[in-house]
Amino acid sequence: MSDPSGVLVDRTQLTADDVAQVDEVMIALVELRAAETRLAEESSRYMKLGSTDMQAIHFLIAGRHRGQDVTAGAVAAHLEISSASTTKLLDRLERAGHIHREPHPADRRSVVIRLAESTYASAMDTVGRQQSRRVHAVTMLTPEERDVVVRFLRQMAADLADFDGFGEG
């Protein structure tokens, strides 16, 4: 454990086997994060896109799969960026041939963002293929195991979201 003296983590109720198992879980999380980071970097490099651009592409793919028309406002809300930043992002993606804008079918004042077919095909062949491997790993678990994993990951996310920053020196 990264806290062998127990200053940060109370280990008084943990057996040596518990500590070893906790260590294994933490190591597995580090390995997962490293694999995710490598995948994100390789995907970005392959697609020649930055992280925010890749997030926008993923959002557009998800919208397409749900049969939803995606607007610039929806992209901005999803990415939590300003409308000015969204315009720059969409202009950049359009210049690179990844997206095109079309009139909204139901709102003449709005524009729908569509992925170029080549970008969609490329993303599905790369990132989509990796996502299918994640889904495969999940399907190998029993329903009860999936419940445990979901509970664990949500608790980890909640605990990390509760972070209030590093203190001053």
Amino acid, res. 156: M
Q: What are 10-27's pLDDT values in tens digits?
A: 788 888 898 889 889 989
Q: What are 114-126's pLDDT values in tens digits?
A: 999 999 998 888 8
Task: Kindly report each contact of residues 154-158 with a partner whose C-beta sits within 8 Å and lies 24 or more positions away, as own/partner.
Answer: 156/29
Provide the H-helix boundaries in 48-163. 51-66, 72-79, 83-95, 117-123, 129-139, 143-161
Task: Provide mean pLDDT across the span 84-99.
Answer: 96
Q: What are 40-83's pLDDT values in tens digits?
A: 788 777 777 888 998 999 999 999 999 999 999 999 999 999 99
Q: What is the pTM of this model?
A: 0.69
- Which value, to the nearest 10 degrees, does the dihedral of the CA atoms of residues 63, 65, 66, 68 take? 40
Structural domains in the chain, sorted by start: 17-161 (1.10.10.10)
